[in-house]
Chain A
Amino acid sequence: MPVVLQAAGVVKSYGVTRALRGVDFTVHGGAVNVLIGENGAGKSTLMRILAGVEQPDQGELRLDGAPISLRSVRDAARQGIGIVFQELNLCPNLSVVENIFLGRRVGNGFQIDRRTERDRAAEVLRRLKARIDLDTLVGDLRIGQQQIVEIARALVEDARILILDEPTSALSESEVATLFEILAELKRNGVGIVYISHRLEELMRIGDYITVMRDGAVVASIPVAGASIPWIVQHMLGEEGGLPSRASSEVPGAPVLEIEDVTVRRADGAALVEGVSLAARAGEIVAIYGLLGAGRTELLEYCCGARAGEGVVRLDGVRIDRLSIAERVERRLLLVPEDRQREGLFSNLPVGSNLSLSFLSRLAPRGFLSPREEGRAVDGMIRQLGIKAESGETPITALSGGNQQKVVIGRCLMRGPAAILLDDPSRGIDVGARAEVFEVMRALSANGIAIVFTTSDLLEALTIADRIVVMATGRVTADVAAAGADQTALIRAANGVPLGSERASQSATLGAC
């Protein structure tokens, strides 16, 4: 495959931190160039340099062999380099078309050529096989669809090089499949794709070349045909890593959280969650496995009081579904939300205040906070969870995604929870941090806390959970013990085929004979 874009000896420092230490990276045209590494390995920095967001301190970029300098994202886009960031950069108040052409109006400078814009947007969305109405406001789309709009935005300018930073982290399996079809099509057209992801299976499936980064340097770069998952993990972590599987579960305790016949509807009456019942016992870890849009988030939000709906929720046998969020927190039911930045963190407060927020009423029995007592409690939690922060005064924004996630979990722990709901706790954090978060979840369950978490990663569910509840389009399609569960059946269940229904229909057919 021809080399289209090359980075040679790229160095980038932020203050004293050297994010990139002389990186060589090659983008092959008509191929998927996979880039992998733990958070902080320098992947994102390298991508930002390739896309013109930042300029390297040393080293150079070569496009088709000729040195180039990219002064801005617009500049890079004009030269055929498009990027889709992990954090979506869309305006929720504008329509799909308007977002696709944001900053790149078609027209004579005065008037927007709406017809051309619409035609080209429709064309691109057709290529993406996305059934998204052009006039829908982006804010009304689900995350998966928004991601497709982002990709459309990069493609509408005929990008020769397309950089995708963790594009599948929010996509459902069918959306992922669609994306991969698109990538295959783009490959055939000679587009060089740079693909960053934490999902190893995915990389093996679609990658042509793989580059592993660690600590700001490239540690290996080979064709994917010569790589294997153990090989990747080994190079990424430097040594043996990964998730040890859960020890056989102890005798489960009494039911702590019970959910009965919960239904949540959208404003237009469509059911997001329909007749869901499940229970989590003391010391039990329950995984709700399902694709995006299965109703997992809505179910958890209903349980903690953040979403209207109907159905019974009991905590330690007491009904709590009429209580406010604050009252449920008082009764020690806590939620770790899916979107850390938007729903979990206070960027204006330091790590310590982020941790202690749900616990303040206990820290101030006479109405006043004692900095010493608060500091002691906070330091204890920082140590218990191994949060990489110098002290409680460290700004929350200085922490990596994994450590920020631990802070949100720590806030729930400080309250001494009876049950914790974690909505996709491994979203957007690297393999190492993920293992640590799961270690924390196990330690909690060992202390008798009931844990319910959602995931779209089946292996994650199988390794962490005692029990797996599969959801598809708002309904429970399977509820089985994790040990010895049939993976294929669970995946089918997540796609809407209830567990056991196959056999039932077979025996029905047999009976008819």
Chain B
Amino acid sequence: MAAALIRLRALIALLVVFVFFAALAPHFLSVGSLLIMAKHIAIIAVLGIGMTYVVLTGGIDLSVGSIVGLAGMVAGSLILNGLTLTAFGLVIYPSVPLVVLIAVLLGGAIGLANGTLVTRFGVAPFIATLGMLYIARGAALLSSGGATFPNLVGNSELGNEGFPLLGAGHLLGIPTPVVIMTLLALVAAFVAARTPFGRYVYAVGGNARAALLSGVRVGRVKTIVYVISGMCAALVGVLVASDLVSAHPASGETFELSAIAAVVLGGASLAGGRGTIGGTIIGACVIGTLSDGMVMMGVSEFWQMVIKGTVIVAAVILDQLQGRLGGASDRG
């Protein structure tokens, strides 16, 4: 009974937080604020999906917040200034899907660099991605000299209009980021539970040496999870820039902490090998609801930080309790 309650802790926490704010925060249950909250949750959840894979292998990715900023800047720059091909003296303006693709590939490339540092050069994931946190943020600031790329609506003459639809648009009344998050979560959960790659991720996190001796290409698996995380982060960067119709180089700061919090709240072990995509989504819901609810209640920003921190630490304590009560191997 106690063990079951702890296993469902994220869900229970979500319920408690939700009921609490529904009762106390004015307008919490209005459609408008729920939709905004859903978008915020989607942002954390998409980052969390990538982060879950990394954490499952026993790693961590601190660079995602900076990748959000850099990917947004790259997308903004492409919309606004296009791509200058100095060799031909040409400036081309890629269409919006191409802009998104370039930004996401850039995130993947940064993830590849993270993964290479970890697997080829043996740098601890914490350090490798901490370095990348600074590098990517620096690059984002350099891209505009610290300025914002404003008014990213595109130009029909250049064929690159429609960028704001990604973050601010709706599909059947549901905000696009929520739709994207849902699809991504379904694919990610399926990959984790039903493909050899997913199983390898759990195996590498559980015992990397045993995985290696069993014929798992451990280096490749580890590299791929950082690529996935980088691509998820870049996607978030595009969504945020699109939603705001502008790209700011400081965008995404401390997002990595929310993503890690969502993963941990969702029941993943930072030691690797344990955790689920479903858990992370619920964790993201808890973090998102908590943040927005407190804003709506008018809780001071300083107290918000204290409360969020307390919730995260409490979740980890519960995690330890679960370990002691003989937490079964949960996957999917």
Contacts and interface: CB of A to CB of B under 8 A. Distances in A.
B202 A349 contact: yes
A106 B6 CA distance: 42
Contact of B207 (A346, A360, A364): A346
Nearest to B220: A326
Interface in A329-372: 329-330, 334-335, 337, 342-350, 353, 356-358, 360-361, 363-364, 367-369, 371
Interface string B261-282: 0000000000011100000000
B311 interface: no
B53 to A, nearest CB: 15
A349 B329 contact: yes
A367 B195 contact: yes
Interface in B206-232: 206-207, 209-217
Contacts of B210: 337, 342-346
B31 interface: no
Contact of B199 (A330, A360, A395): A360
B68 interface: no
Contacts of A304: 213
A353 B193 CA distance: 11
A358 to B, nearest CB: 5
13 contacts: A325-B212, A326-B217, A329-B215, A342-B209, A347-B273, A353-B199, A356-B199, A357-B199, A357-B200, A357-B203, A360-B196, A369-B196, A369-B199
A329 B215 CA distance: 5
Interface residues of A, number: 35
Interface of A: 304, 306, 324-326, 328-330, 334-335, 337, 342-350, 353, 356-358, 360-361, 363-364, 367-369, 371, 395, 411, 415
Contacts of B329: 348-350, 395
A347 B214 contact: no
A353 B332 CA distance: 13
A439 to B, nearest CB: 23
B194 interface: yes
Contacts of B214: 329, 357-358, 411
Contacts of A343: 207, 209-210, 213
B82 interface: no
B225 to A, nearest CB: 16
Nearest to A408: B210
The 5 closest A-B pairs by CB, nearest first: A329-B215, A348-B273, A360-B196, A348-B206, A346-B206
A330 B205 CA distance: 22
A368 B195 contact: yes
Interface string B66-109: 00000000000000000000000000000000000000000000
A350 B203 CA distance: 11
A353 B202 contact: yes
Contacts of B331: 349
B23 interface: no
A300 B138 CA distance: 48
B38 to A, nearest CB: 30
Given A364-B196, A369-B194, A349 B213 contact: no
A348 B322 CA distance: 13
Contact of A347 (B194, B206, B209, B213): B206
B4 interface: no
Contacts of B212: 306, 325
B196 A361 contact: yes
B306 interface: no
B305 interface: no
B2 interface: no
A347 B207 contact: yes
B172 interface: no
A364 B200 CA distance: 13
